[in-house]
Amino acid sequence: MIAPNLTLRPGDTLDGYELEDIVATSGMATVFRARDLKSGLQVAIKVPHPEVESDPTMFDRFRREEEIGTRIDHPGVMKVFANPERTQIYMVMEWLDGRLLRQILNEKKKLPVERAVKLMVGICDALDHVHANGVAHRDLKPENIMVDDADGIHLIDFGIAASAGARRLTFAHFSQSMGTPDYISPEQVRGKRGDSRSDIYALGVMLYEMLTGVVPFSGPNPFAVMNDRLLNQPVPPRELEPSISPQLQEIVYRAMEREPKNRYASAREMAHDLQHQDEVGVAARPDAERWRTRRSPERRRMLLYAGLALIPALLFGLLLFVSRHH
């Protein structure tokens, strides 16, 4: 698939790179597999669409991804190579062999416990390094994780990542500002800026999905999914997959706490528990046990209106009580 308005084609040469074929196309950019004519190595070339270059917000996202990818050096994070002598705007990235975690989940639905834990430990390790460099990914999801043949992982797409101390950015589209509805944290739903604890929440959602084959919250549209996350408890993972131990379910719950302060303090802590599940204490969770009770925004709104309607009657009763006792 060739994106509209894209002037480059497979077979073209872009500066010192020969474009071989198109491997991905999105609303923002087209990614080519290419060959570095100097080194002979395969690389990936990400070329923004012309309309992105003219959109300050989208172009800033492209620049941010490049800056973070150039700065962070970790085997679990896709490298971006500095390339100051360009004749046009594009990004040169390492070529990764493998498949997206999303593709694996689409094929397998859910993963064996051992494999899910192994993948999550790798994701935690890479994410801990990202956080140590003052960056929050803010859009962790299976679509942004590459898995190689040995189940090694690479985090990709830092387009809406945030660096500590950076100015807050506002985007025109929901998915560009907050992430994907299935994986964003409750605080992001409430309009707060995502941080490292928001990434921990996304880890919990992904682990839930890898273990059970479904995401913990659902709805007919993104806003219904977000409301479900704020109002209801997910089906306990062990209800969907009995092979999940109580300790592993506890790890999922700790990562997915509604209040950020109650989650794992770091991805490293979560990885430790995944690797030492015999040390994990299982907490009593009364709220989680009420997962069959489903609330809706409409019900909450009706209760609010009913409460407001009762205020005049309560005030009248209070005045009547006072008048009778004077």
Which has the higher per-residue pLDDT, 238 or 54? 238
Contact present, 22 and 67 (Cβ < 8 Å): no
What are the structural domain ranges in the chain?
13-94, 99-295, 298-326
Structure tokens at 204: 């919990």
Contacts of 230 (CB under 8 A, 6+ apart): 186, 189, 190, 258
Q: DSSP E strands: which ranges in 98-241?
A: 99-100, 135-136, 145-147, 153-155, 162-163
Please give the pLDDT value at position 172: 33
| Mean pLDDT (whole number) for 149-158 | 94
Classify the phi-psi angles of 157: left when phi > 0, otherwise alpha if psi is within -120 to 50, otherwise beta.
Answer: left
Token pair 């921990």 in the structure block, residue: 200
Structure tokens at 309: 């309607």
Name, of 48-57, 139-148, 294-303, the range with top average pLDDT.
139-148
Q: What is the mean pLDDT of the chain?
A: 86
Tell which CATH architecture fits domain 99-295: Orthogonal Bundle (1.10)
Please give the pLDDT value at position 237: 97
Please give the pLDDT value at position 248: 98
CATH class for the region spanning 13-94: alpha beta
Please give the pLDDT value at position 167: 45
| Mean pLDDT (whole number) for 125-153 | 95
Whole-angstrom Cα distance, residue 174 to residue 222?
9
The pLDDT of residue 124 is above 70: yes
Please give the pLDDT value at position 164: 58
Catalytic site positions? 139
Token pair 């997910």 in the structure block, residue: 234
Banded model confidence at residue 33, pLDDT cuts 50, 70, 90: very high
Q: DSSP E strands: which ranges in the chain?
A: 13-14, 17-25, 29-36, 42-48, 80-81, 91-94, 99-100, 135-136, 145-147, 153-155, 162-163
Whole-angstrom Cα distance, residue 320 to residue 308?
19
| Mean pLDDT (whole number) for 11-37 | 92
Lowest mean pLDDT segment, chosen from 32-36, 60-64, 66-70, 195-199? 60-64
Encode pLDDT of 262-308 as tens digits.
Answer: 999 999 999 999 999 999 999 998 888 888 887 776 555 444 434 54
Lowest mean pLDDT segment, chosen from 103-107, 238-242, 286-290? 286-290
Angle (CA) 181 104 242, round 5°: 80
Give, in order, the Cα–Cα distances in Å from 133 to each of 2, 58, 71, 224.
Answer: 36, 23, 9, 34
The pLDDT of residue 224 is above 50: yes
Encode pLDDT of 175-204 as tens digits.
Answer: 444 557 899 999 988 888 888 999 999 999
Which has the higher per-residue pLDDT, 148 or 220? 148
Structure tokens at 184: 């964003």
The pLDDT of residue 76 is above 80: yes
* Model-wide pTM > 0.85: no
Fold equal for 13-94 and 99-295: no
Contact present, 237 and 246 (Cβ < 8 Å): no
